[in-house]
Amino acid sequence: MKLSAALLCALVAVQAAVLLAAAPSAQAGELQVGYYGKKCKGLENVVKWHVIRALKANRRTGAALIRLLFHDCFVRGCDGSVLLDASYDNPHPEKVAPVNIGLAAFDLLEEIKAAVEDRCPGVVSCSDLLIYAARDASSILSNGHVHFDVPAGRLDGFVSKAEEAQAELPDSADDVQKLIANFARKNFTVEELVILSGAHSIGQGHCSSFAGRLSEPADQITPAYRELLKYKCPQGSNPPVDNNVRDEDYDVVARYMPGFTSRVRKIPDFLDNSYYHNNLAKIVTFHSDWTLLTHKEAFGHVKEYAENGTLWDEDFADSLVKLSKLPMPAGSKGEIRKKCSVINHRLY
């Protein structure tokens, strides 16, 4: 007997739903600092050891972890949904959304998860591991100036949709009013928008994420920096480019911005308030960064954090804690994944 394509799709959907329903699930409880103190002793030391080793090999991994934290928590709350791979049941998870181009550090999180499973099987969620790892990366990249205790007890979600990520995450081409409205939907203030934008002192972005900047006028981007970006983004290519010009190749900076060479850093990716100095000088990569200068309150905070790096360190840590507390949608259930890239029923 031949089945129609529509009937086959329906059967597949029913089978997936049955498998999902059969998988053990629960609703997340209240988050607590020290949640795993008795459940998995030494957990935070295990995570930190792996993060330190990874950053010694490649400091860029630290920026990738912090970006993953934001891109996970801003969509469906902090549920590890951005970590899920494409599957037969879900061919378009969050990580393949265009807005998530360049996300990395997935292998490191799987490595951490495997080590934790050996120590405490079925106890620690991938969503919690991501928060711990991003916290440790923030501390290392800031020379210990950004640090916070992690409230834990999250569950890993079952749902991951590229279209939700594309709709909910801020875009690098957004204007300030759209950014403010987007952050307000997650209960973040204008000040917190400016604080979290400071993470662009580290990491990289692809040319496609700031293509519009290559033709913006001199009152929005310093012409010398615009020419540097054009050089880094030859037509028809889409390489990653340093978010912070201080991390650029010395010879490239000397060619296009010779007066800036004294600020080029020998070691890249220091999480600090240099983003705010760069923004005031109109040498930031994304339109969404520059546009903060066009809003009175946001502009005031940019100046405030340019003048007080210690204050930004403290406020950035507080904002990451608030970000890490974004909950899953009401009524959502979750699990403790055995692997971060796949929900448990697909392992059998």
Q: What would the mean pLDDT of 217-228 be, rounded to a whole number?
A: 98
Which band of pLDDT confidence, cut at 50, 70 and 90, is reported for residue 17?
Answer: very low
239-271 pLDDT, tens digit per residue, is: 999 999 999 999 999 999 999 999 999 999 999
d(CA 78, CA 69): 8
What tokens were used for 270? 């220091």
CB atoms near residue 102 (< 10 Å): 14
pLDDT at 322 over 50: yes
Q: Which residues are annotated as a binding site for substrate?
A: 170
CB 209 within 8 A of CB 241: no
pLDDT at 62 over 70: yes
For the domain spanning 32-169+325-346, the CATH number is: 1.10.520.10
CB 165 within 8 A of CB 99: yes
Catalytic residue among 71, 145, 287, 301: 71
pTM given for the model = 0.91
186-213 pLDDT, tens digit per residue, is: 999 999 999 999 999 999 999 999 999 9
d(CA 23, CA 122): 13
Residue 161: predicted pLDDT: 98
Q: Which residues are CB-neighbours of 50 under 8 A, at least 6 positions away?
A: 108, 111, 112, 115, 133
pLDDT at 347 over 90: no
For the purposes of burial, counting CB atoms within 10 Å of the CB of 96, is it exposed (0-12), middle (13-18) or buried (19 or more)?
middle
Q: What would the mean pLDDT of 43-60 be, rounded to a whole number?
A: 98
Q: Which residues are annotated as a binding site?
A: 72, 75, 77, 79, 81, 94, 170, 200, 249, 272
CB 67 within 8 A of CB 199: yes
Q: Which residues are annotated as a binding site for Ca(2+)?
A: 72, 75, 77, 79, 81, 94, 249, 272
Q: What would the mean pLDDT of 65-86 be, rounded to a whole number?
A: 98
pLDDT at 4 over 70: no
Q: Could you tell me which residue, 236 or 290, shows the higher pLDDT?
A: 290
For the domain spanning 176-322, the CATH number is: 1.10.420.10
pLDDT at 2 over 50: no
Which band of pLDDT confidence, cut at 50, 70 and 90, is reported for residue 8?
Answer: very low
Select from 154, 110, 96 the least CA-distant residue to 340. 110
71 noted as active-site residue: yes
CB atoms near residue 90 (< 10 Å): 18
Which band of pLDDT confidence, cut at 50, 70 and 90, is reported for residue 236?
Answer: confident
Domain ranges, ordered by start, for the chain: 32-169+325-346, 176-322
Largest CA distance in the chain: 76
C-alpha 94 chain-centroid distance:
12
Scan for tokens 């490649």, then name that residue.
58
Which band of pLDDT confidence, cut at 50, 70 and 90, is reported for residue 14?
Answer: very low
101-138 pLDDT, tens digit per residue, is: 999 999 999 999 999 999 999 999 999 999 999 999 99
Helix, strand, coil % over all residues of the chain, rounded to 5? 55, 5, 40
Residue 266: predicted pLDDT: 92
Which band of pLDDT confidence, cut at 50, 70 and 90, is reported for residue 26?
Answer: low
Residue 162: predicted pLDDT: 98
For the purposes of burial, counting CB atoms within 10 Å of the CB of 162, is it exposed (0-12), middle (13-18) or buried (19 or more)?
buried
CA atoms within 13 A on the CB side of 148: 22
Residue 20: predicted pLDDT: 41
d(CA 333, CA 330): 9
Which band of pLDDT confidence, cut at 50, 70 and 90, is reported for residue 346?
Answer: low
Residue 25: predicted pLDDT: 62
Select from 140, 73, 66, 53 the least CA-distant residue to 103. 66
- At residue 162, φ and ψ (nearest 5 deg) are -60, -40
Residue 27: predicted pLDDT: 63
Whole-number average pLDDT of the chain: 93
